[in-house]
Amino acid sequence: MKKATVLMLAVMLVFGVAGLASAGIYTAQPTDPNLQSMGDGRYYTWEIDEWVGAEAIPQEETIVSATLIFHDMWNNYPNELYLNLLDTTTDGWGYDTPYTANEFGDEGLLNHWHNLPSYVTRDLVYEFDAVELGMLEGYYASGIAFGFGIDPDCHFTNSGVTFTVHTAGAPVPEPATMILFGSGLLGLAGVGRRQAKKQ
């Protein structure tokens, strides 16, 4: 009975204080200069096909958060800005018809900024929720080249756009934990020998 209890505690210790096998931060930035000066009456698409400092997110890593930021965004009034997640796209732009409507519709709509304060510079930040993270995970698992649809219905300018993904790996024991686990097993073996001698 004591052996089983000690062994169970040792296993719980290993997994309770486990670290992460691998984790990463992957950042994508568009190369299309049109996304820094987005004219009204146009829509824009951005394919996420290149990561800064990384070729691809490894299969064993899971996406735990994702953020898209328009840095130093400035706009005039009145204004609308639509952001959609697209399951197929390329880089480029086209004419928004009809004007003042979302060219990409409601499917994949992430956010709709409306009547932002005029002539004010700020970062526009969009954090993905759990459902949207699941969609991103599915795209990666299926090898789908996803991207974003951006439809501004006034003139927006910014100093750059950044899409950042944070990942985490499967839990694995840390070296210190393994030492503790090994010590526990040695102690368990010693208890077993002492009990055998008593008998």
Q: Which amino acid is at 177?
A: T
Higher pLDDT, 198 or 32: 32
Query: What's the pLDDT at 53?
Result: 64
pLDDT in tens, 158-191: 999 999 999 998 665 555 554 555 555 445 455 4
Per-residue pLDDT, 11: 41
pLDDT over threshold 80, residue 104 = yes
Q: What integer best gives the mean pLDDT of the chain?
A: 81
pLDDT of residue 52: 72
Work out the average pLDDT over 129-148: 92
Give me the pLDDT at residue 78, please. 83
Bigger pLDDT: 63 or 99? Answer: 63
Residue 146 has pLDDT above 90, yes or no: yes
The region of weakest confidence among 87-91, 104-108, 130-134, 185-189 is 185-189
Residue 51 has pLDDT above 70, yes or no: yes
| Higher local confidence (pLDDT), 195 or 86 | 86
